[in-house]
Amino acid sequence: MYQKSKAKSESGSFPKVKDCPPAGQGVHYWVFHVVCTFTKAGISEEKISGYCEEEATRTLQPDEVKNAIGSCKNLRKRKSRPSIKLDQKLIKKIQRTGPSLVKLINTSPVKTPTELSAGRYVDILFPDNCLICCGASSHTFATRPKNEWFDKLDRLQFIVPSPMSEKMGFTKSGKPSSHTLSNTGDRRFLIVEFDDGTLDEQSAILHDLGTKFPLTLVVYSGSKSLHGWFYVQGLKEHHIREFFNYACKLGADPATWTKSQFVRIPNGKRKSGERQTVHYFNPNTIK
């Protein structure tokens, strides 16, 4: 039997946590539970590591606690969505002078973007055989290597627009999941979506945004909105946020700032059966 932590018995300063389950029954998740609870209470990383090592019912893997601490930090650093007041005067000016959807389609470097499959789009948009998170719904999803998704994407509707760093992560409440902020990798695409305005009005605004950041894709949601995919990998986060704040002033939905937010798969399919058509594609923006 494992001996109780000496530090715990001497100080009694640790917050209450669940007892570690038997080996093979969730020790890894118990470690994350302890890390998040102790971190919130201001316990040092050294004491957290010592507690986990002494209280665990099995020998911990190298860096198991360290990795859990990193995942917990990523969750705690999650940035709030920007709250930006709409600039109605600027919105109307851009909508009045910008191109309609038909004109935007005519400027697409790839002239027949609707002919590419969803799998082909994802193959072009994402590097090598990176991990991709896709879903048939917001409740049914998985994270797999890119080449395992190819022939399945035409009938799915959601994708995380950045590669995943691991197959599994932890939700804010500490539950394991394949779709979390903690297992989302570096931001690759920033998606700008509009809930209001006609498709022509949205096209005008996306065109304006494309003069500031490289516009890679314009995807129809299959309902009432257009999604602009902007290639941002390698750019500094504060520059990306400035751009997104500007987009929000023009009416963009702030929800897509979150890296792990699901967006529409290019040429995927909504649950209703509507195709998520690609209207504009410029692969030259991708490095």
Strands (DSSP E) found in the chain:
131-135, 141-145, 158-159, 169-170, 176-177, 189-193, 215-220, 226-231, 263-264, 278-281
- Are 206 and 264 a contacting pair, CB within 8 Å? no
What is the DSSP track for 216-244? EEEEE-SSS-EEEEEE-TTS-HHHHHHHH
Domains of the chain: 6-76 (no CATH), 88-285 (3.90.920)
d(CA 148, CA 159): 14
- Are 101 and 228 a contacting pair, CB within 8 Å? no
d(CA 159, CA 152): 12
At residue 280, the pLDDT reads 96
d(CA 27, CA 23): 6
Q: Within 13 A of 203's CA, how many CA atoms are on the CB side?
A: 20
At residue 27, the pLDDT reads 87
Ramachandran sector of residue 267 (left: φ over 0; alpha: ψ -120 to 50; beta: rest): left
What are the φ/ψ torsions at residue 145 (nearest 5 degrees)? -60, 150
At residue 7, the pLDDT reads 42
- Are 38 and 50 a contacting pair, CB within 8 Å? no
d(CA 45, CA 30): 16
Please give, one letter per residue, the 3-state secondary structure of 24-37.
Answer: CCCHHHHHHHHHHH
Q: What is the mean pLDDT of each run of 10 residues along the chain (287 residues)?
A: 40 78 86 89 88 91 86 63 78 96 95 89 95 93 95 94 94 86 95 92 97 96 93 95 96 93 95 93 95
Q: In which residue are the tokens 């929000």 written?
A: 248
Tokens of 230: 């902007």
Buried b / exposed e along 3-16 (16+ C-beta atoms within 10 A): eebebeeeeeebee
Prediction pTM value:
0.72
Tokens of 269: 């399919």
- Are 154 and 267 a contacting pair, CB within 8 Å? yes
d(CA 203, CA 80): 27
Report CA 135 to chain centroid distance, whole Å. Answer: 13
